[in-house]
Amino acid sequence: MPPRLNLTSAAFRALSLRTAAAPSAAQPLSQKLLAVAAAPVTVVARRFYSDNLTPDSQPPKSSEIPPSNLVPELSQDAAAAQKKLQNVNALNRLEMVAYGLNPFDAEEEGHKYGLPSLPLPSELHKDHRYDDVLGQVTRLLMKDGKLSKAQRDMAMILNYLRTSPPPKLNPLRPLIPGSPAPHFLPLDPVTYLRVAIDSVAPLVRIRGFRGLAGGGRNLEVPAPLAARQRRRTAFMWILDAVQKRKSKGSGRKMFPTRVAEEIVAVVEGRSNVWDKRAQVHKLGTATRANLMNAQIKNFL
């Protein structure tokens, strides 16, 4: 969670607009007399401004206003209008009940849908709007910097996944532990994609140290990958496999369909990406003894 959200929250509160003004400050003199009864409301309303750092001048206390002869007696119509004005708050509250909000919550007053609870959930931040894997993978799909196109492609991939029949799993290619049952996957396409990528993500990569094996040969050493790197590698392998797939049609759905078909193939264990992963892991186990090389030890 970026810290600036918390820093600015106080400022937002102070700036928040109010549809109904605080009675004591905004009402004309004649109405202030009537506002005496609503004194507790006034107190609640004032509380909003307590976040302001600079205290404004002392609010005029309605009880202290001297009775004035300048204020004319209220006519019948005016009195009715007065009553209606008085009910505005109550009507607003009823409206809030209709929206499913607590009408007496001081936080909600003056906001149609209330203030969001802080800290904000991550998807409300513009840079973390989507699922983390989805966001990363979409950028890997992108060509020529056309993110919007990539996002649309990704949406089509997800729609393909949620309309495809449940995958038939291959027991020889077990998915990542903790993945949901296959019949559940099409209902949650994001998880479907996640499971596919995480299942074929390699644990290590092979680093070559030039000349350390003697005679100018590379010394191959396995190195662990972080989660994001693992997913990147896996998805690049998937994209390579997509490139090799034959294009059967044309139009904007073709590319997403091919990617989605490959993802289904991964989950069903038909994809060649599994072999790539196995190969890397095999090499990793074979070369792990090289970690004991003195120079490598010093380097690492």
Kindly list the residues in this chain that would bind other proteins in the complex (CB under 8 A): 99-100, 113, 123, 129-131, 134, 138, 151-152, 154-156, 158-159, 162-166, 186-190, 244, 246-251, 253-254
Residue 94 Cβ vs other proteins, minimum distance, rounded to whole Å? 15
228 vs 230: CA distance, rounded Å: 5
Residue 261 Ramachandran class (φ > 0 left, ψ -120 to 50 alpha, else beta): alpha
Phi then psi for residue 73, to 5 deg, are -65, 145
Q: Are 225 and 205 in contact (CB under 8 A)?
A: yes
Residue number, 115 or 190, with CB nearest to other proteins: 190
Residue type at position 281: H
Residue type at position 177: P
Residue number, 135 or 206, with CB nearest to other proteins: 135
Residue number, 32 or 276, with CB nearest to other proteins: 276
For residue 119, whether the previous peptide bond is cis, meaning omega lies within 30 degrees of 0, is: yes
280 vs 141: CA distance, rounded Å: 23
Cβ neighbours of residue 63 under 8 Å, at least 6 residues apart? 36, 39
203 vs 224: CA distance, rounded Å: 6
